[in-house]
Each structure stands twice: as C-alpha cells, then as structure tokens.
Amino acid sequence: MLNDTVAEKLNAQINSELFASHLYMSIAAYFASLDLTGMAKWFQAHSIEEHEHARKLFNFMEKRGGRITIGKLDAPKAEFDSPADAWKTAYEHEKHVTAAIHDIFSAAAEAREYGTTAMLQWFLEEQVEEEDTFRRNYKLALAAGDDEWNLQDMDDRLGQRAPAPMIEE
C-alpha cells in the first residue's frame, strides 16, 4: 500500500501531466494559427507523450493499490506574443514538472517508498531530456525572431518528428 503523502503527490502529478497535455495542444493550436504546421504537429505529438506520462503514473498507482482521482483541467494559455514566447511557456512548464518530480522523489525516499523512487528514475531521466529539448528549441525560436525563412526552416525540421511512442503497460 502506498504511503498517503506519496500517493497524494503521485495523484497530483497524474493531473499535472494531463494539464501539460492540454497546454501543449493549446500551443499546437497557436502554431497552427500561424501556418507553422511542423511545430503544430510537434506539439500535438508531445501532447500525446504527456498523456502517456499520466498513464504511466496511473498504472503504477493502480499496481500499488493507490486511489486515483482525476480533477478538472484549467484552461491553458491560448495566446502568445510570438513563437519564442510559446516555446518559452513550454520550457518553463517543463522546469516546473522537473521540480515536482524531484519533490515526489524526496517524499518517496523519506517514506522509504523505494518502489516509487525506482519508478521515478525514468521520469528523472525523461525530464533531463525534455528540458534540454525545450530549451534548445526556445533558443532557436528566439534567434529566428520574426524572420519567416528561419521560422520555416525550424518548422520543417520539427515537422519531421516521429509520432509519440506509447508506453508499455
């Protein structure tokens, strides 16, 4: 049986991953509105990836007998000043997710919930990758500014992203 504090934090993280999925669909919609379809596709794929993160945590809690509750999603930010602003919003969100994962890891270690710390290792590594990806793309978008050629080049490259992998059960 999961420690109560750890269960509460894991449950909150499931909801937070679902919000990230929601936010990235909103950013995809913003890029679609600019006809930057490569970036719109990239964020759609990432939205699915965030949903998979929620599902991974859900399946873990289910195995450990934790009670899962799904809450209401807030409306995500829909308007952005520029492509760079949209990337910055996503990058900041990833930093927030990293801090939340660290917090759960600390609580799990304190409660001697070693099954949870082992599971969270995957998320710690994932966050290193995600922060790096979002930071790099934010800097590229910042450098592109409103230069249409540079934005199109970035858009073409990001549009080649493969569909998000499904996480095993």
For ligand FEO, give the closer residue by CB, 30 or 123.
123
- Closest distance of CB 17 from ligand FEO, Å: 5
d(CA 141, CA 44): 18
The yes or no reply on residue 97 touching ligand FEO (CB under 6 A) is yes
Smaller CB distance to ligand FEO: residue 6 or 120? 120
Q: Which of residues 103-132 bind ligand FEO (CB under 6 A)?
A: 130
Task: Please give the single-letter amino acid code of residue 158.
Answer: L
CA 2 to chain CA mean position, Å:
24
User: Distance from CA of residue 108 to its chain's centroid?
Assistant: 21
> What type of residue is 46?
H
Output 58-62 pairs: Cβ under 8 A, ≥24 positions apart.
58/14, 59/169, 60/10, 60/116, 60/119, 61/2, 61/7, 61/10, 61/11, 61/14
Q: Does 9 bind ligand FEO (CB under 6 A)?
A: no
Q: Does 53 bind ligand FEO (CB under 6 A)?
A: yes
Token digits for 94? 């990833």
Q: What is the rounded end-to-end Cα distance, in angstroms, of the chain?
A: 20
Q: Is 17 in the site for ligand FEO (CB under 6 A)?
A: yes
Contact positions with ligand FEO (CB under 6 A) in 54-93: none
Nearer to ligand FEO, 3 or 56 (CB): 56
Least distance between ligand FEO and beta carbon 102 (Å): 13
Q: Which residues bind ligand FEO (CB under 6 A)?
A: 17, 20, 50, 53, 94, 97, 130
